[in-house]
Amino acid sequence: MLMNGAKAVIESLKKEGVEVIFGYPGGTVLTLYNEVYKDKFPNVLTGHEQGAVHGADGYARATGKVGVCFATSGPGVCNMVTGIATAYMDSVPLVVISGQVATHLIGRDSFQEADISGITTPITKHNYLVKNVHELPRVLKEAFFIARSGRPGPVLVDVAKDVFDAEFDYEYPETVQLRGYTGHYEGNETDIDEAVQALCESRRPVLLTGGGIVSSDTAQILQEVVEKLQIPVVTTLMGKGAIPDTYDYHLGMAGMHGTGAANRAIVGCDLLLAIGARFDDRVTGNANTFAARAKIIHFDIDRVEINKIVHSHVSVNGDLRWSLPLLAQKIQSTGDRLAEQYTAWRQEVKETNRAYPCYSRDIKNYVSPRKLMQEVRKRAGDSAIIATDVGQHQMWAAQFYDVTQSRHFLTSGGLGTMGYGLPAAMGAQLGCPANQVVLFSGDGSIRMNCQELETLANYHIPVKIVVLRNGVLGMVNQWQRMFYEKHYAASVLGNHADMPAVATAMGVKAFAVHDPGDLEEVLDAFFAVDGPAFIEVDIPPDENVYPMVPGGKKLDEMIIGGDDDHETTSGTAGR
């Protein structure tokens, strides 16, 4: 079928099942957008290219499908670099299609030229520069295959302007043939046998859930394992929701701002079963002392992650879609006995969980973060998808907001990208229209991509935005308060913008809560809005996130909080 390169892109997206694209036009992609217009292909015009890539990211995380975004050359796609890196760090499948200057102008410092392939090589799973229209179908087929297979990640396809214009006989490949890459990862079944044997020998095991469970859609299989073994569970930030937070022996998040129970369990366990987690420094604290008394079993698809940070005694290298069903099968005959074997340990960690709740003050004239999270959840319900920006509010959401389903907690974990939340929530809402999407943000983070408020209004995307207002860059301010002699350098926002007024000006219904007595009534009105809505809630300006493990310390060297200045250090955990 004869068509130009731009039309070939649209036809290829259809064949890959793409439902919507996020993007921003410019000179090198005008032919591409002309085909979008003629085809009436679903397209979201964001306020900024960073909003487009985060929108595609949120869509991908919430749905499990590949997110797609468009950008023009030079500054357009360079504005996506932060979003591409965000997706790369968290293993999110994206295909980023960018325009490039015409083939004969490449390498001449032409107007709006940037070597985006070179720029993004360290932060993409793979990338392409297409200078021949005949290569375009194959490249797109490969891009989607690479993005979604194996350990997912972003793939960049940079297309020269003249390739969009060139006509050729289009045919989309049915298969992909890549030398050295199949996207199929099965390991050694004997490694799983070793893992089961270690579980049989254990008396104090802990399961650590990572983001790999979410991205592989194996949460249901893992839940069957957990229910059979009745094993205590701790989670990474990216693994939140893989096992419901409401599970009786769920101890919460581990690490720097993990719960006292989770960190004590890791220190005191004799076996740590880590599934799809990469032992990020925010989880381990001092990696040399992490789970020092435990035998560590590590399930992961990426061989590079095995023994990279923490030594594992048993490693199961392979796709969780291969390994977890086998694990579930192999414990069927012994699971009941093992559950009985772990009884004393379960009771111990449950008592610890009751004894060390996450700390949150109730202060006159302010709403506590815990109270806010709980009241929002009452109204949003179990099926809500939660997105966050980055900072104190992110940690409070992880600590206090119970999530019961996989892919229902979206946050920038590895890169920690402020400004991620609003466009990601927008993408998630478009991908999952039957679910209410709620964004938690801070008064620092929300300003970074607040232009997407207008996008929500323009497309009537009913995201509910909850901003915790304390007048400071919360996490920065907390570190300065605790470790830099209260030198609040550049972390106090001062007379900052009236964000409810900004939201209103952009077409989003806005509310504010300055008196804690008004919270419930205003939240009722906020959730009753048909369409997007924005609420700003005053929280204490000097509220800290506790517990906290200072950088480089052991997990049992937590500052756990107290009624005076919160600065109480915990004792040694475990036995």
Q: Could you give the residue numbers annotated as active site?
A: 49, 111-112, 161, 475
In angstroms, what CA-CA distances link 274 with 132, 153, 172, 290, 371? 45, 21, 40, 13, 32
In angstroms, what CA-CA distances link 402 with 156, 246, 276, 408? 35, 7, 21, 10
> Using an 8 Å Cβ cutoff, are 95 and 144 in contact?
yes
**H helices present in 382-451, as ranges:** 392-400, 421-431
**What are the percentages of helix, strand and coil residues in the chain, rounded to 5?**
40, 15, 40
> Using an 8 Å Cβ cutoff, are 332 and 227 in contact?
no
In this structure, what DSSP letter does residue 553 have? -
* Extended strands (E) in 311-407: 314-317, 385-388
Q: Give the strand order in the sheet containing 21-23.
A: 43-45, 21-23, 67-71, 94-100, 154-160, 126-130
In angstroms, what CA-CA distances link 465 with 412, 436, 450, 523? 17, 11, 11, 11
**209 membership: H or E segment, kind and range:** strand 205-209
Give the Cα separation of 84 and 74 in Å (integer): 15
Give the Cα separation of 84 and 299 in Å (integer): 26
Q: How many CB atoms lie within 10 A of CB 79?
A: 18
In angstroms, what CA-CA distances link 225 with 218, 242, 319, 422? 11, 12, 17, 35
Give the Cα separation of 534 and 120 in Å (integer): 34
> Using an 8 Å Cβ cutoff, are 295 and 230 in contact?
no
* Six-digit token string for 102: 């015409």
Give the Cα separation of 319 and 321 in Å (integer): 5
Q: How many CB atoms lie within 10 A of CB 520?
A: 13
**H helices present in 121-160, as ranges:** 136-148
Give the Cα separation of 29 and 52 in Å (integer): 15
**168 membership: H or E segment, kind and range:** strand 167-169
Q: How many CA atoms lie within 13 A of 503 on its CB side?
A: 24
In this structure, what DSSP letter does residue 304 have? G
Instruction: Give the SS3 label for residue 251.
Output: strand
Q: What is the CA radius of gyration of the chain?
A: 24
> Using an 8 Å Cβ cutoff, are 420 and 440 in contact?
no
Residue type, 297: I
Give the Cα separation of 569 and 395 in Å (integer): 19
B/e letters for 537-563, b = 16+ CB within 10 Å, e = fewer, are bbbbebbbbbbbbeeebbbbbbbbbee
